[in-house]
Amino acid sequence: MKIIAVKINITYPLLPTICATKRAWNLDLKKCKKYDYVVGVSEKQIKGVYKLIDVFKDCIDPKRVEFILCPCTPVEEFVIKNEIYKNPEKINLSFNGPTMYIDDFSL
């Protein structure tokens, strides 16, 4: 399982979590298509966990990608959050930059 973490510190207070998470900087479009989930992170806390349905170049800003997302089941969200929070040495939610790939995440 692969996850993309998107920093939403600026947009999260202004938009619903899914809207704040669905656009991101500095990602490779082809690489994103190989990922399963996207998490929205604000102030080192996971604010939303979503299944990645599709990804394409953002029509407003070509330097960004836009995700088609749908909410995870409560069980998926619980398991993903739990695994990320219990492995802070492996998955650092205070990552530099606007995004982070989390490869080979095992549930």
**What is the average per-residue pLDDT within 36-57?**
95
DSSP notation for 33-72: TT--EEEEEETTEEEEEEEEEEEEE-SS-TTEEEEEEEEP
**What is the average per-residue pLDDT within 19-48?**
93
Q: Judge whether residue 5 has pLDDT over 90.
A: yes
Number of neighbouring beta carbons within 10 Å of residue 32: 20
Q: What is the per-residue pLDDT for 11?
A: 85
Q: What is the per-residue pLDDT for 3?
A: 94
pLDDT by residue (tens digit) across 60-99? 888 899 999 999 999 999 999 999 998 887 888 888 889 9
